[in-house]
Structure 1
């Protein structure tokens, strides 16, 4: 699955799981909001 150029909303992005998910999505080229 490709996330390049996609905008993704992550609820709880400041938490433990959310911050790791956010880092991973940013590494895959997604724009993360949350």
Structure 2
């Protein structure tokens, strides 16, 4: 059974890298982010495409 982990802020800098590492380690990652416009929205959407 694979452990499922929820990462909040998954499209942000830290959340993206944590999620990427967890995926590499074999975990199932459920990423949550509200994609607000405080930072460039295109950067956040790009983070989701990269995984």
TM-score, normalising length: structure 1:
0.84
4+ long deviations beyond 3 Å: none
Q: Give the number of the structure with larger relative contact order, counting CA–CA contacts within 8 Å between residues 6 or more apart.
A: 1
| 1:8-23 correspondence to structure 2 within 5 Å | 8-23=5-20
Q: Which runs of 5+ in 1 are unaligned?
A: none
Point out the structure with the larger helix share.
2
Q: Say what the alpha-carbon RMSD is for the aligned residues.
A: 1.3
Q: Which has the larger radius of gyration?
A: 2
TM-score, normalising length: structure 2:
0.57
